[in-house]
Amino acid sequence: MKFRIARSALVDAVSQVSKAVSTRTTIPILTGIKVTADEEGILFTGSNADLTIQVKVPLREEDKEIVVLERMGNTVLPGRIIGELVRKLPEDEVEWEVDERRVATIRSGQAQFQLNAMDPEEYPRLPELVEDRKFSLPADLLQTMIRQTVFAVSTSEARGVLMGVLWQLEGGKLRLVATDSHRLSRREAEVEAPEDLTLTNVIVPGKSLSEVGKILADRSGWVDIVVSDNQLLIKTTHLKFFTRLLSGNYPDTDRVIPKGGKTELVLSTKELLESVDRASLISRDGRDNVIKWVVSDDGRVEVSSAAQDVGSVTEEVVARVSGEPMSISFNARYMIEALRAVDSDEIRILLTGPMTPFSIRPADSDDSLHLIVPIRTR
């Protein structure tokens, strides 16, 4: 293989696929980045067992020449070194060549690197997905849906499907759900989907989705989603994510979401977040990171926490309260993470009792929901 490529395009492609490259060397070939040069351009692939990211650098873009292809071919080069190397190249043009002895030469200005390449035949092949189950949504909407749910997945290997985010589709509405059984986050949105396409139990690993979210953060345009039995493909211009699906049945979470409520609060997202953040300064030193709310029916919420040996904190937040007065205790971290995921200025909290899950929604929308299970305190 032999080509010349613009350094900025090379740096972008390598830094994106690097997000999936394995750092563990249990499968040595996956510590490499695969590079394929053909008449369509240069294709970069990075993969770990769960997630594969592919970026294509086309020969031309908007009449600008990006790649000059001299000889087609395949190679796999060490990912960590390539990732740093491309950023440090001195000139805007990079010459890239791999000879028959599998020695790669990367030249830019006066600098010339020679790297030992790996055998591209060893690199795992990507599945060919049948595109019969496919839908589309804007890239920024998908990024938001991931951001508003993925933090709630379980990080414990023992929890199986709870390490993933559940994707459900029905009647053109996509729903993402994540829970670690102490809290739950759910986000719904209309998407472009065939009317008869229904998905009930597609479970995508949380770690993979976090990486997808990072890369989509600065993307506009639409993404296509293709679902197969054990893979999900997310694709947009010049960019593809293949992620393995988790097997198993995701629990029915509809049952745990309270229908009515005894006490409703409407309050400022920012004020509440800051007060919970302050209260958790003290409670974090305790075992459970517990903070307590006392809701009065005259429109005040007293936020407090105490930790033996350290001290205590208390403050009041103004709220519009309807229903009964109530006291409730919960893990401050779950509340902080939920509030950070909310985009609206005001939120609506529905309490059903001191020991039953309570819900947090944007005041102006039902698309997004966070649920937290309270903690029993003395």
Least separation in angstroms between residue 277's CB and its own copies is 6
Residue 313, interface with its own copies (CB under 8 A)?
A: yes
Report the distance separating Cα 119 and Cα 122, nearest Å.
Answer: 6
Q: Which of 50, 61, 140, 285 binds its own copies (CB under 8 A)?
A: 285
Q: Which of 238, 264, 278, 367 binds its own copies (CB under 8 A)?
A: 278
- Residue among 231, 258, 234, 216 nearest 373 (CA): 258
Residue 277, interface with its own copies (CB under 8 A)?
A: yes
Q: Which of 75, 275, 289, 329 binds its own copies (CB under 8 A)?
A: 275
Q: Which of 38, 68, 99, 114 binds its own copies (CB under 8 A)?
A: 114
Pairing mode, strands 93-98 and 103-108: antiparallel
Q: Which of 25, 110, 287, 298 binds its own copies (CB under 8 A)?
A: 110
Pair 72, 64: CB distance under 8 Å: no
Residue number with CB closer to its own copies (218 or 309): 309
Class of residue 356 by CB neighbours under 10 A (exposed 0-12, middle 13-18, buried 19+)? middle
Q: What tokens were used for 240?
A: 């593809």
In the chain, the amino acid numbered 188 is E
72-101 residues in contact with its own copies (CB under 8 A) are 78, 81, 84-85, 88-90
Which residues, including other chains, have CB under 8 Å from residue 100's CB and lie 6 or more apart? none
Least separation in angstroms between residue 221's CB and its own copies is 35
Residue number with CB closer to its own copies (114 or 155): 114
Residue number with CB closer to its own copies (111 or 355): 111
Report the distance separating Cα 151 and Cα 221, nearest Å.
Answer: 25
Residue 296, interface with its own copies (CB under 8 A)?
A: no
Pair 16, 10: CB distance under 8 Å: no
Which residue's structure tokens are 């390598």?
14
Pair 58, 80: CB distance under 8 Å: no
Least separation in angstroms between residue 311's CB and its own copies is 4
Taking CB under 8 A as the binding criterion, the range among 29-37, 110-118, 135-143, 240-248 that sits at the site for its own copies is 110-118
Residue 112, interface with its own copies (CB under 8 A)?
A: yes
Least separation in angstroms between residue 31's CB and its own copies is 12
Residue 268, interface with its own copies (CB under 8 A)?
A: no
Q: Which of 27, 72, 103, 217 binds its own copies (CB under 8 A)?
A: 103
Compute how many residues bind its own copies; rule: CB under 8 A.
Answer: 33
What are the DSSP calls for 118-182, one per residue? Answer: B-GGGSPPPP---TTSEEEEEHHHHHHHHHTTGGGS---GGGGGGGEEEEEEETTEEEEEEE-SS
Q: What tokens were used for 85?
A: 């190397």
Task: Name the site residues for its own copies (rule: CB under 8 A).
Answer: 78, 81, 84-85, 88-90, 103-104, 109-116, 274-275, 277-278, 281-282, 285, 309-317
